[in-house]
Amino acid sequence: MAAALSLSLKLVCFHAFTISLLASNHLGQSADTYIVHMDSSAMPKPFSGHHGWYSSMLSSVSDASTPTGAAVTPSTTAKLIYTYSNSINGFSASLTLSELEALKKSPGYLSSTPDQFVQPHTTRSHEFLGLRRGSGAWTASNYGNGVIIGLVDSGIWPESASFKDEGMGKPPPRWKGACVADANFTSSMCNNKIIGARYYNRGFLAKYPDETISMNSSRDSEGHGTHTSSTAAGAFVEGVSYFGYANGTAAGMAPRAWIAVYKAIWSGRIAQSDALAAIDQAIEDGVDILSLSFSFGNNSLNLNPISIACFTAMEKGIFVAASAGNDGNAFGTLSNGEPWVTTVGAGTMDRDLYGILTLGNGVQIPFPSWYPGNPSPQNTPLALSECHSSEEYLKIRGYIVVCIASEFVMETQAYYARQANATAAVFISEKALFLDDTRTEYPSAFLLIKDGQTVIDYINKSSDPRASMAFQKTEMGTKPAPMVDIYSSRGPFIQCPNVLKPDILAPGTSVLAAWPSNTPVSDNFYHQWYSDFNVLSGTSMATAHVAGVAALVKAVHPNWSPAAIRSALMTTANTLDNTQNPVKEVSNDTVTALDMGAGQVNPNKALDPGLIYNATAEDYVQLLCAMGFTAKEIQKITRSSYECLNPSLDLNYPSFIAYFNDESSAPDELVQVFHRTVTNVGEGQSNYTAELTPLKGLKVKVDPEKLVFNCKHETLSYNLTLEGPKSMTEYLVYGHLSWVSDGGKYVVRSPIVATRMDPGMAPDFFGGF
Ligand SMILES: *[C@@H]1O[C@H](CO)[C@@H](O)[C@H](O)[C@H]1NC(C)=O
Ligand SMILES: *[C@@H]1O[C@H](CO)[C@@H](O)[C@H](O)[C@H]1NC(C)=O
Ligand SMILES: *[C@@H]1O[C@H](CO)[C@@H](O)[C@H](O)[C@H]1NC(C)=O
Ligand SMILES: *[C@@H]1O[C@H](CO)[C@@H](O)[C@H](O)[C@H]1NC(C)=O
Ligand SMILES: *[C@@H]1O[C@H](CO)[C@@H](O)[C@H](O)[C@H]1NC(C)=O
Ligand SMILES: *[C@@H]1O[C@H](CO)[C@@H](O)[C@H](O)[C@H]1NC(C)=O
Ligand SMILES: *[C@@H]1O[C@H](CO)[C@@H](O)[C@H](O)[C@H]1NC(C)=O
Ligand SMILES: *[C@@H]1O[C@H](CO)[C@@H](O)[C@H](O)[C@H]1NC(C)=O
Ligand SMILES: *[C@@H]1O[C@H](CO)[C@@H](O)[C@H](O)[C@H]1NC(C)=O
Ligand SMILES: *[C@@H]1O[C@H](CO)[C@@H](O)[C@H](O)[C@H]1NC(C)=O
């Protein structure tokens, strides 16, 4: 794997939401938000509900109730922000340190964590994944009809064509969700497609009381939530594009699933307290799937409120898709790797969006571009410049300026080219640009050194160098695809390294989906462009794809557990690209399951996986026990008493990761045994045979090598044994165990990774491989 690339080369792009992080300026002690876990069984008799109990507890610890003589402003009194009852037992509150200390002595207090602010992990994808109207998974699942996908995101733009409710039935009686009206818009937030819309910003406002909320409703004013909602479950919309790029029919993965929106992202940030309130309500409302495209935060598993909420969701049978993060490509950068969620990495699609630079001598140079504007300079003179001094202005005005790679950063060059009124610009750099940064205000081409040199040589040799530029080009069917994109965060998940993460790959790069019509698609400082569809990249986009595909599986198998659905997605995933070669990274480096999990999600096959690896809440508890969490810590996650009867790091998971990293002792052999149980969900009587790919330097064996099922729903067990030196010679080896049914109808494939990396080390330590 190549060393991590820096991707965030921002070019004349300014975020629309510039946030001033004002320190709170209260008199007396300043208050912070805390999420407090309570033992609900400790509630004293007189209280009929938790809300009353917590309120009374807070007023009794409030600094204001014990005046010390100094003037106390109302903002320093303990304030209840949310009461939680479905996801955790507890509440969030604004507390001073002395109030927090007093609270810790209250009966029923278990623990608390400061509220963290975390980041969101910001139309052809359905065809690319093999979904076709009138066949395969869409027909079998009736396009996900009957399933409710809840998205905790930045809200939704209900007027978008993607959320038309044609052909959608009324929400089912089991649905308890609500549609909170938007005071400023007369039209409803909901219809028979969007069946729930709520919003949560009390945690955000507790931290940033002076910030203006641009839409104090579940209406989206940032775009992220509209984009992910339509990717997961948008209806068919014909003839859409982003300024001519990526034209075609847009549709979500589950075009007939219902959407429930829980807005908790505000100005590009999300408070754990708000996200928790959103998930708490989504569980009560009765969603089937949760799509979470933001970082859960960095607290340890037993203290992370979002992890815990996801555990409860899993217990209630809710499938949770969560983004791996955009911090790749070093190992150990992955977030949201909780073993009870499905963690999603991002890959490319077989589609290029680009522009073409045509030199006067006829040479054509394509370059990646999302430039949304109209001007396409024709036969315009070229000028070479370092693009950094105003003396050069006159030489540039009206030209296509070619800015030579120099010590001047591209932002500076782009600024000068603009100030000088160049007609267009060609920027030359050593590194490929993040595509989002190609939405420049004037026509621009971004070339790597080799293509850049072609242009420079042409200018040098020609007496009248000229060029033309064209934009809004789309090429379909590009190869190879998918590739794992550089930015996608890589496993292992440092907090739980014995479960291989990420789980799965889905399209995340240059995804076209719906967009609010009042929100600019480009955060370019000088120009604002608007469009009802926008192109975005990130594991957020990939996660929405997986949430939609999970809805298709759920529509066909309503009783499958979240683990069973995850297993179906993973064991049927594609590990080959569209050239039938192993999936690679965008840099053409080899990838392993730590980059892409089991492979790219394959909806048509996921509906009928043959065998599944199931797991119960009890199994996850035994994993937590083996990880060394105390009974008290585990109780914070499970909220009920489970016992550590059979602690084991060996979760019944459809993938394997083994560490051979013990350099301390004599060079003995190490034998690692994985025990797995599979359930036959395919045909009644069927036999499966194990196929193993070799792993360099290790002895690998499966026992038994044949599984003979006599009936449907029967479970059988096997062991996978890896044997090798305590410290492996190879840094990392990667292969597969496949159970192949007689006749080959089913191939139930699991990735195997063995490595000598030490997940106890900081990610930076083992980043550069
Ligand atoms: C309604 O719009 C006004 C003016 O744009 C704004 O100040 C107000 O906050 C909005 N209210 C809501 C509920 O979004
Ligand atoms: C947002 O609306 C809620 C009612 O829905 C109101 O209680 C709250 O004060 C509003 N907040 C802001 C910042 O406008
Ligand atoms: C997209 O636009 C191009 C150029 O206008 C056209 O050739 C192509 O057929 C369109 N593709 C689709 C899927 O509509
Ligand atoms: C965890 O996140 C918080 C806030 O997002 C940050 O201040 C802190 O440094 C992080 N801690 C670690 C160990 O990364
Ligand atoms: C660029 O164009 C603007 C607007 O027409 C003009 O005000 C400015 O003087 C021009 N700058 C140069 C360097 O020509
Ligand atoms: C232009 O060509 C001359 C002669 O071949 C060479 O010395 C010079 O370095 C070239 N300039 C650039 C900018 O490439
Ligand atoms: C998996 O386990 C859960 C919990 O024990 C159970 O409800 C479910 O039926 C099992 N099988 C499948 C296919 O989900
Ligand atoms: C990767 O390899 C393919 C074909 O092997 C090639 O077309 C492509 O340009 C390469 N990409 C990079 C980033 O080197
Ligand atoms: C499965 O294997 C058993 C034992 O090898 C054999 O008796 C049986 O006929 C096989 N069943 C099928 C459906 O192939
Ligand atoms: C798997 O290994 C365990 C001990 O690690 C053993 O008890 C069990 O019999 C083995 N099962 C099979 C099917 O080999």
What DSSP assignment string belongs to 454-518? HHHHHHHH-SS-EEEEEEEEEEES-SS---B-TTS--S--TTSTTS----EEEE-SSEEEE--TT
The DSSP symbol for 648 reads: -
Q: Is the dihedral of CA 750, 755, 759, 760 positive or negative?
A: positive
Of residues 437 and 290, more confidence is placed in: 290
* Strand stretches in 374-440, DSSP E: 380-385, 400-403, 424-429
> Which residue type is seen at 637?
I
Which residues on neighbouring strands pair with residue 193, listed in sequence order?
A: none
**Contact 116 CB / ligand 4 (< 6 Å):** yes
Q: Could you give the CA distance from residue 202 to residue 61 in angstroms, rounded to a whole number? A: 21
Q: Which atom of ligand 6 is nearest to the CA of 457?
A: 14
How many Cα atoms occupy the beta-carbon half-sphere of 6 within 13 Å?
5
- Ligand nearest the Cα of residue 588 is 8
Residue whose CA is closest, atom 3 of ligand 9? 708
C-alpha neighbours within 13 Å on the C-beta side of residue 156: 34
Average pLDDT in the 688-695 region?
98
d(CA 756, CA 492): 12
- Ligand 2 atom nearest residue 212's Cα: 13
Q: Give distance in angstroms: CA of 382 to centre of ligand 1.
A: 49
**C-alpha to C-alpha distance for 259 and 255, rounded to whole angstroms:** 10
Average pLDDT score over residue span 107-135: 76
Task: Note the pLDDT tens digit of each residue in 493-536.
Answer: 999 999 999 999 999 999 999 999 999 887 666 678 899 999 99
Q: Which ligand is nearest to the CA of 398?
A: 5
Pick the residue whose CA is nearest to atom 14 on ligand 3. Answer: 248
Question: Which residue, 746, 467, 427, 414, is CA-closest to 607?
Answer: 746
User: What is the position in ligand 8's atom list of the atom closest to the CA of 588?
Assistant: 1
Work out which ligand 10 atom sits closest to the CA atom of 673: 5
Is 460 near ligand 6, meaning CB less than 6 Å away? yes
Mean pLDDT computed over 596-616: 97
What is the per-residue pLDDT across 54-87, written as a single tens digit (0 to 9) for each? 999 999 998 765 444 444 444 447 889 999 999 9
Q: How far is CA 694 from CA 210, 681, 699, 718, 727, in A?
A: 60, 28, 8, 18, 18
Mean pLDDT of the chain: 88
pLDDT confidence bin for 1, thresholds 50/70/90: very low
Q: Which ligand has an atom closest to residue 716 CA?
A: 10
15: pLDDT strictly greater than 60 = no
Rounded to an integer, what distance in angstroms lies between the CA atom of residue 369 and that of residue 255?
Answer: 29
CA distance 58 to 425: 61
Q: Indicate if ligand 9 lies below 6 Å from the C-beta of 587.
A: no
Determine the atom of ligand 3 nearest the C-alpha atom of 249. 13
Pick from 198, 216, 217 the residue to mutate for probing ligand 2's pocket: most ligand atoms within 8 Å of its CB: 216
Q: Name, in order, each residue with C-beta under 8 angstroms of 114's C-beta and a sequence gap of 6 or more.
A: 32, 33, 34, 35
For residue 505, give the nearest of 487, 526, 522, 531 by alpha carbon: 487
**β-strand 90-95 against 79-84: which pairing, if any?**
antiparallel
Task: Kindly state if the Cβ of 607 falls inside 6 Å of ligand 6.
Answer: no
Residue 23 has pLDDT above 50, yes or no: no
pLDDT at 415: 81
Of 454, 460, 461, the one to substitute when testing ligand 6's pocket (max ligand atoms within 8 A of C-beta) is 460
Nearest ligand to the CA atom of 333: 4
Which residues form the catalytic set?
153, 224, 540
Percent of the chain as helix, strand, coil, to the nearest 5: 25, 30, 50
Instruction: Tell me the residue ranges of DSSP E strands in 233-304.
Output: 237-242, 245-250, 258-263, 265-266, 269-271, 289-292
Residue 742 beta carbon below 6 angstroms from any ligand 9 atom: yes
225 lines ligand 3 (CB under 6 A): no
First to last CA, the chain: 5
Q: Does the structure show a pLDDT above 80 at 282? A: yes
Region 750-762: what's the mean pLDDT?
A: 89
Say if ligand 10 is within 6 A of residue 745 CB. no
407-444 pLDDT, tens digit per residue, is 667 777 888 888 888 999 999 988 777 777 778 888 99
State if residue 298 touches ligand 4 by the CB under 6 angstroms criterion.
yes
Let me know if 698 is exposed, middle or buried by CB neighbors in 10 A (0-12, 13-18, 19+): buried
Predicted confidence (pLDDT) at residue 214 exceeds the cutoff of 50: yes
Where b means 16+ CB within 10 Å and e means fewer, 597-630 reads: bbbbbbbbbbbbbbbbbbbebebbbbbbbbbebe
Pocket test for ligand 4, best of 298, 306, 333, 495 (most atoms within 8 A of CB): 298
Percent of the chain with pLDDT over 70: 91
Tell me the β-bridge partners of 401: 383, 425
765 bridge partner residues = none
Q: Atom of ligand 10 at shortest distance to CA of 703?
A: 14
Lowest mean pLDDT among 43-47, 470-474, 716-720: 43-47
Which pLDDT tens digit goes with each residue over 435-483? Answer: 777 788 889 999 999 999 999 999 999 999 999 999 999 999 999 999 9
pLDDT of residue 124: 42
398 lines ligand 5 (CB under 6 A): no
Residue 63 phi/psi, 5-degree rounding, is: -55, -35
* Pair 440, 414: CB distance under 8 Å: yes
Among 38-47, 151-160, 392-401, the least confident range: 392-401
pTM of the model: 0.90
State if residue 247 touches ligand 3 by the CB under 6 angstroms criterion.
yes
